[in-house]
Amino acid sequence: MKSKKLLKRNEFYVAVTIFLLSLIIQLRSGQFFTANNFVDLARAMIIPGMLTMGVMMEIISGGIDVSFPAISMLSMYATLELLLKMEYEGSVALAFLIAVLIGLCLGLINGALICLLKLPAFIITLGTSSIYLGFMQAVLKSHTSSLLPGPVSRMVKSFLLTVTNQELGISSSLPSVFVFLIIIVAFTAFLLKYTMLGRGIYALGGDPVAAERAGFHVNGIRLFVYGFMGALAGFVGITRTILVGSCQPNSLIGYEMTCIAAVVLGGTRISGGHGTVAGSLLGALLLTMVSNSLILMGIPTYWSKFVTGILIIVGTGVSAYQALRRQRQLAVGVLEDQGLSENGGLM
Amino acid sequence: MKKKWITWLILGCMTVSLWGCGSKQEEQQTAESSPAAEEAAEETTEAAPAESSDYKIATVVKESSDPWFIRMEEGVNRFADETGVNAFQKGPSKTDAAQQVQVIEELVAQDIDAICVVPIDPAACESVLKKAMDKGIVVITHEATTQQNCDFNIEAFDNVGYGAYMMDELAKAMGEEGQYVCMVSYLTNAAHKEWSDAAIARQKEMYPNMELIPEEKIETEDSMEVAYERVKEILKKYPDIKGFLGTASNDPPGAGKAIDEMGLTGKVFAAGTSVTSVAAPYLESGSVATATCWDPADAGYAMNVLAKMILDGKRDEIQTGLDLGVPGFESISVTDGKYINGEGWIAITKDNMSDYNF
B194-216 pLDDT tens trace: 999 999 999 999 999 999 999 99
Q: Nearest CA to A265 among A253, A275, A256, A273? A: A275
What's the rounded mean pLDDT across residues A261-273?
A: 88
Average pLDDT of span A303-318: 79
Categorize the per-residue pLDDT at A343 as very low, low, confident or very high, splitting at 50, 70 and 90: very low
What is the pLDDT of chain A when averaged over all its residues? 88
Edge-to-edge strand order for the sheet containing B86-90? B86-90, B56-60, B114-117, B138-142, B152-155, B339-341, B333-335
Residues contacting residue B288 through CB under 8 Å, at least 6 positions apart: B252, B253, B255, B256, B269, B270, B271, B274, B279, B282
In the predicted structure, residue B256 carries a pLDDT above the cut 60: yes
Mean pLDDT value across residues B143-170: 92
Q: How many CB pairs under 8 A join A and B?
A: 95
- Confidence (pLDDT) at A327: 75
Rounded to whole angstroms, the Cα distance separating B233 from A32 reads: 11
* DSSP secondary structure letters along A132-177: HHHHHHHTS----BS---HHHHHHHT-EEEEEEETTTTEEEEEETT
What pLDDT score does B45 carry?
Answer: 42
Amino acid letter, B85: V
Taking CA atoms, what residue in A is nearest to B234? Answer: A295
pLDDT tens readout for residues A62-104: 999 999 999 999 999 999 999 999 999 989 999 999 999 999 9
pLDDT digits (tens, 9 = 90+) for B15-50: 555 444 434 333 444 344 444 444 444 444 444 444
What does residue A173 show for φ and ψ, rounded to 5 degrees? -120, 140
d(CA B85, CA B262): 53
Which of B217, B250, B253 lies nearest to residue A301, judging by beta carbons? B217
* B334, amino acid identity: V
Closest CA to A315 of A20, A4, A6: A20
Residue B1 pLDDT greater than 60, yes or no: no
What is the Cα–Cα distance from B5 to A343, expressed in whole angstroms? 42
Measured in whole angstroms, the distance separating CA B182 from the mean position of its chain's CA atoms is: 21
**pLDDT reported for residue A14:** 85
- Summarised one tens digit per residue, pLDDT across range A97-113 is 999 999 999 999 999 99
CA distance A54 to A58: 6
Residue B198 near residue B168 (C-beta atoms within 8 A): no
Bigger pLDDT: A54 vs B20: A54
pLDDT of residue A13: 83
The answer, for A131 touching chain B at a CB cutoff of 8 Å, is: no
Phi, psi angles (nearest 5°) of residue B333: -120, 135
> What is the C-alpha to C-alpha distance for residues A233 and A50, in angstroms, rounded to an integer?
9
Substitution target in A159, A168, A255, A305 with the highest count of B β-carbons within 10 Å is: A168
Per-residue confidence (pLDDT) for residue A337, from 0 to 100: 60
Q: What is the CA radius of gyration of chain B?
A: 24
Nearest CA to B78 out of B275, B295, B298, B322 is that of B298
pLDDT level of residue B12 (50, 70, 90 thresholds): low
Asked whether the beta carbons of residue A31 and residue B236 sit closer than 8 angstroms, the reply is yes
Residues B193 and B187: beta-carbon distance below 8 Å = yes
Could you tell me how many residues make up chain A? 347
How confident is the model at residue B48, as a pLDDT?
A: 42
Residues of A within 8 A of B65 (CB-CB) are 141
| Closest residue by Cα to residue A323 from A247, A271, A281, A245 | A271
pLDDT at A344 over 50: no
Which of A252, A239, A237, A260 is CA-nearest to residue A78? A237
Kindly list the residues from chain A whose CB atom is less than 8 angstroms away from the CB atom of residue B216.
Answer: 301
Q: Put residue B96 in one of left, alpha, beta given phi > 0 → left and psi -120 to 50 → alpha.
A: beta
* Model confidence at A329: pLDDT above 80: no
Three-state secondary structure call for residue B313: coil
| Closest by Cα among B242, B125, B124 to B179 | B242
Model pLDDT, residue B40: 42
CA distance B83 to chain A (A): 33
On chain A, the residues whose CB falls within 8 A of the CB of B262 are 170-172
CA A217, chain centre distance (Å): 25
What percentage of residues in chain A have a pLDDT greater than 70? 93
Provide the CA B38 distance to its chain's centre, in angstroms. Answer: 28
DSSP string, B62-91: S-TT-HHHHHHHHHHHHHHHHH--EEEEE-
**Strand, coil or helix: B273:** strand
Q: How sure is the predictor about A251, in pLDDT bands with cuts at 50, 70 and 90?
A: confident
Pairing of the two strands B241-246 and B269-273: parallel
Nearest-10 crossing angle of helices B251-261, B276-285:
30
pLDDT over 70 at A220, yes or no: yes
How near does any CA of chain B get to the CA of A327, in Å?
33
What sign does the CA torsion over A235, A240, A243, A244 have? Answer: negative
- CA B238 vs. chain centroid, Å, equals 34
3-state SS, residue B162: helix
A130 touches chain B (CB under 8 A): no
pLDDT band of A334, cuts 50, 70, 90? low
pLDDT confidence of residue B15: 53
The DSSP letter of residue B246 is: E
Which 8-state DSSP code applies to residue B332? Answer: -
Give B96's contacts (C-beta < 8 A, 6+ positions apart).
B120
Is the separation of the CB atoms in B69 and B43 below 8 Å? Answer: no
Chain-chain contact of A251 with B225 (C-beta, under 8 angstroms): yes
- List the B241-246 sheet strands across, edge first: B210-219, B178-184, B241-246, B269-273, B288-294, B345-348
Distances from the Cα of A85 to the Cα of A80, A137, B327, angstroms:
9, 18, 36
Q: How far is B46 from chain A (nearest CA, A)?
A: 25
Task: Give the mutation candidate from B262, B264, B354, B357 for the A interface (greatest A CB count, under 10 A).
Answer: B262
Q: How would DSSP label each residue in A228-250?
A: HHHHHHHHHHHHHHHHHSSB-TT
Angle at A312 between CA A73 and CA A248, to 5 degrees: 15
Q: Grade residue A206 by pLDDT with cuts at 50, 70 and 90.
A: very high
Is residue B95 very low, low, confident or very high in pLDDT (cuts 50, 70, 90)? confident
Q: What is the pTM of this model?
A: 0.82
The secondary structure of residue B238, as a DSSP letter, is -
Taking the C-alpha atoms of residue A254 and residue A243, their distance in angstroms, rounded to an integer, is 18
Confidence band (pLDDT; 50, 70, 90) for B13?
Answer: low
pLDDT tens readout for residues B259-312: 999 999 999 999 999 999 889 999 999 999 999 999 999 999 999 999 999 999
